[in-house]
Structure 1
């Protein structure tokens, strides 16, 4: 997957067919002055900057571009934009077409440039960044670094073409970030004598990035070049102070590096990321214990036209996303004042992310046209410049407040889901004995979401490790509570004992942070197990009051309403939880809850369809298959019901409706419906 920019925001595109080998039909250099080579001979480029700019844009375009879009890109107020576009395309055809190969593909009203058998430096780099550069060998990193021969389309500025200028600026920022990411990985993987060269280049392109100063000081300390390190520390302090930036983390990094070289093995562990350091101070804990993934949300660029107005919809949307992410309590979120101040100083989003030392950066743009609003947003890893999620929201504006509220909900839920998935996958690759509390928690989540007894035991172990390392980590206590809930709900251990443990650990979570929605979620589930349904509803409603975007809170309200509450409310909560988290690990539960609510409403045919959908989700357990089997039986689809029951018996040989009803908590009349379902299957 590659990345291309439209309107200054990058979105993933597929360019997997672009050639990498030396036998490429054409070799295109976009980094530095544009050049095109065929068979080792450099081709003469058109004199027209617009023709060359059009070629660069089409090279990275994610899909065929409309002629009207290309006219808007390059011509402000031309006399004959389509005529000028045709002239530029003729120049590009003369440059890259061959007698047996037409590369400029003009179909209907769209234009596409076919370079599938060519080598393009920018695409090569974007592919590597998107696939992940953390595990690349030094030789591959050196090759990528060598491709950065200058700025993207160096010298290609075009007067009176504001859309092209915006696109060009965004691309240059993106590739500078990519260059810094490649250099950072190189510094980590090569000997010090080579690393100093890469550190020098990294400093040139990212002079305000704390990690490069810290890496340089650490390398100088290892090599015993202490005087040079002190001189660099003083110079960097002057540089940062002149820009009103905090130099303290770099000074702390030097003290830690110096302590290591002096043999002070007991030196306090260093937290490099500024956000993590600030989090530690604010929360009064040690840096290691308080570590959380950190994120900065930059104001959304308003591309509606005219001068951007402070406090406009782009600023409002960013403020809303920042506030809602902070309410989730699972991320360290940079405050609004800081990111808005950086925006006002014309600091680009990815530059801001690296200056702040955060793990993730959110950026995007907003455009209103008549009754429609389009919001483009992306989430990127700061250190590797890899885009991990991007989306375009296009809505009709009937009520602006409701539209932006809906878009904000979707952005926050997607960010939370993506970050948690990345952190889980990263933690699973770490050696178990090297995990800190944050990593142990996410390792526990990875096992917890497997929904089987063996993994549940592993999840419990990692959550216990997390709370031992940081007793104030509310989410680790909540995860531990969920493992005890699973033991009771699935019948894997003594039910009464596990319910007590689920309540006790949920209580520890609330004591650690009673503003964390996950703590109230854990307590709500545990109280439901004990049959204290009214109190369960209070805790679960508190969870979503604290954080309206907490998808698991909405799902669990669907789950308990489906059995002991209002079935119509259960359907609404289930639908909303799926809207907030459409790829959630508990999606089978959201769908299954909807099916159970429909049974209570005597809508058996619909219930059967939703039950079947639930079983198709990964890690659906025996109770989910039972929901499908009983719903199908009630809907008269007996052969399908017996198929599901046979599948259940392979998982749990002695499974009966009493196992299902013991796990759930239906009123007698509703329980009778599910007993009728098993009776119809003929296995009761």
Structure 2
């Protein structure tokens, strides 16, 4: 067994009193993981054997979202001992003795898996993680104060397990995670308590202790000092902070400018306050960064170098670094949000700056982190996307790939990671914009509010989308994606016959042209132009623009879908199938998934593969936001497959909305070649839509 360690040592009396007070109102059994590990039953400490690995096992099971296999636990904690499963059984037996009660088994084993059933137990780390998942910004001051009291120290403070690299990586990640949670709780408390009060000062001091390079913490302290009339103390702190930032080659300009603005607002707070700083500080060695206008702010992301556990001894330049570089490059090519350059994130990583701390130093909204493990017969890549200000894990996933070809690994896994990160950021930003008053939106938020309405696919929602894209462009006339969104709404009006087709086609073309004028490297601009040219009947030009879109950004799913859409009607149907599959691989939950499936259905029909066409058309029609044209694709494909009863059901549904709908309407919607037109007219005839 491993060596004993004193892990359950006592902590400060005030922390213990808080812990006891919480337990008296909560479950009878409580586990503390934030600080030295401790178990309490009815305010009485529960004794544990002095095994480090037993404590590590308890903590890992407490945070595991699902049962864990015994093989995973052995790999995590035991460095090839004589009998890892025997040691695991010993640890589990001791945990049962500590946690189980008559008729209540908290350690559960089923098959080869182990789980800790929390049930009536309270676990401080689980409560903190739950609050973050709920949304720290939604919590009231009292709840935030209670959460702050949970953080009695580092996660599993004082616990280290020798010769267990996998557990060491997990432990480091959890300590960073909960430190970021603690910072987020403190920041939101400070935003709610009265500035200048002693309580605010105590929380700010703790914030600075945890994140000494977080500019927001320094600004909060300076603001608090100024409001209490301590201008001299503010100047002293600023001089100290300047030396600290310059020692790390960090830009101090924003902090100095913030202090000047704070002093101006609080002028006269104390009689006799000096008008000039008492402690001069050197200019920053880094060029000043012009602050981004609030009206044109866009989401920002830092992708930190992925960690690699393959026995490389810290050598850089392997698969992990290659994958990180590829992800940064691909995300930047999307030109949807601001991505921190590779040099900056690698420089911070070389200084062993934790990802969440790096995110605060870089003043970004999101940080992506990951790890690469090389195991026998496979690579395993784990990724997390974290919202910096709330420490909330927005998205997490694990990818596995056979090590057939290193470039294939980077391509396949990189594609999935890039598409998922882009989609998750878009979702978070869209949801945030929906919660704000329409007249308070900046350009980025108005754009995302427009996207939300645009993807409802009704005439009324399309008009609302146009309004919000217009508001975004008033605030930022250089916003290429907002022009592309505006073009999309005019395209919908033409395609769905919600307006005069010629006029809406002209407007779609004009908006796409504006998008290209402001940013001809943006894939969305070329996508919008390609679709507008398709409306104008210029197929060759359309395909050229759409090819430019995916060349600029191979991860731009909508570009691949648009290629599929055009090829499915009068181009190459095999290419249409390939582009449809690739677009769905890149964006498996896309709002336009029904279109991707519908394009594949029409391509199969043109190839004479009617049963496949019918199945893909049914999948498209089953999507919750599928509109009447998708239902028409399903009706025609089912008819061609000889499934007349199903086809007539769709035809009846269409005519309940559009009583005079005919084959001419379906044909006029698309740009079929002569054979395609004859094919679908035949399908319409079979079900009475001719």
Normalized against structure 1, the TM-score is what? 0.91
In 1: Cα distance, 2:608 partner to 2:164 partner: 62
What does 1:206-355 correspond to in 2, within 5 Å?
206-261=211-266, 281=290, 287-355=293-361
Per the alignment, residue 686 of structure 2 pairs with: 680
Correspondence for 1:473: 479
Secondary structure of the structure 2 residue equivalent to 1:632: helix
Question: Partner residue of 1:6?
Answer: none
Q: CA RMSD in A?
A: 2.1
User: What is the match of residue 188 of structure 1?
Assistant: 191
* C-alpha deviation, 1:641, in angstroms: 1.3
What does residue range 470-619 of structure 1 map to in structure 2 within 5 Å? 470-619=476-625
**How far does the alpha carbon of each residue in 1:220-251 deviate from its partner, in whole angstroms, 9 at most, with x for none?**
44444433322222221111111221111222
Name the counterpart of 1:15.
none
Residue in structure 1 matched with residue 277 of structure 2 by the alignment: none
Does 2:384 match 1:381?
no
SS in 2 for 1:208: coil
Stretch of structure 1 that moved more, 412-421 or 289-298:
289-298
1:332, CA displacement in angstroms?
0.8
Q: 1:165: how far off?
A: 2.5
- 3-state SS of paired residue (2:138): coil
Equivalents in 2 of 1:165, 1:77: separation in Å? 16
Which consecutive residues of structure 2, in runs of 5 or more, have no partner in the other structure?
1-21, 269-285
Q: What are the Cα deviations for residues 499-527 of structure 1, in whole angstroms up to 9, with x where unaligned?
A: 11111111110000000000000000001
- Paired with 1:20 and 1:566, the residues of 2 have a C-alpha distance of 68
Which of 670, 678, 681 does residue 676 from structure 2 map onto? Answer: 670
Question: Is residue 452 from structure 1 mapped to residue 458 from structure 2 by the alignment?
Answer: yes
Q: Give 1:84-95 correspondences, 5 Å limit.
A: 84-95=87-98
Displacement of 1:652 in angstroms is 2.9
**Secondary structure of the structure 1 residue equivalent to 2:92:** helix
Tell me, what secondary structure is at the counterpart of 2:158?
coil
| Greater CA drift, 549-558 or 157-166 | 157-166
In the alignment, the residues of structure 2 paired with residue 592 and residue 489 of structure 1 have an alpha-carbon distance, to the nearest angstrom, of: 15
CA contact (8 A) 1:30 1:152 kept: yes
Question: Structure with the greater relative contact order (CA < 8 A, sep ≥ 6): 1 or 2?
Answer: 1
User: Do the aligned partners of 1:280 and 1:291 also contact (CA within 8 Å) in 2?
Assistant: no
Q: 1:22-421 counterparts in 2 under 5 A?
A: 22-192=25-195, 193=197, 194-261=199-266, 281=290, 287-421=293-427
Give the 3-state SS of the residue equivalent to 1:134 in structure 2.
helix
- Supply the distance in 1 between the matched residues of 2:677 and 2:236 (Cα, whole angstroms): 77
Written as runs of structure 1 = structure 2, the 5 A alignment for 1:413-432 is: 413-432=419-438
Instruction: Provide closer, same or farther for how the CA distance between residues 133 and 244 of structure 1 changes in structure 2, counting only shifts above 3 A.
Output: same
Does the CA contact (< 8 Å) of 1:364 and 1:378 recur in 2? yes
Would you say the 8 A contact 1:288–1:436 is kept in 2?
yes
- Supply the distance in 2 between the matched residues of 1:411 and 1:652 (Cα, whole angstroms): 42
- The answer to whether the 8 Å contact 2:490/2:505 transfers is yes
The match for 1:8 is none
Contact 1:374 1:395 in 2 (8 A): yes
Structure 2: how far apart are the matches of 1:631 and 1:76?
Answer: 59
Shift of 1:262: 5.5
TM-superposed CA distance for 1:378, in Å, is 1.2
Q: Residue 259 of structure 1: CA displacement? A: 4.0
Q: Tell me how far apart the structure 1 counterparts of residues 520 and 400 of structure 2 sit (CA, whole Å).
A: 37
Instruction: Please name the residue that 2:631 is paired with.
Output: 625
Q: 1:435 to 1:223 in 2, by over 3 A?
A: farther
> Cα distance 1:505–1:633, how it changes in 2: closer, same or farther (>3 A)?
same
Change in Cα spacing, 1:669 to 1:165, as seen in structure 2 (3 Å) is closer
Count residues with an aligned counterpart. 650
TM-score of the aligned structures, taking structure 2 as reference length: 0.91
Gaps of 5+ in 1: 1-18, 264-276
Q: Distance in 1 between matches of 2:287 and 2:511?
A: 28
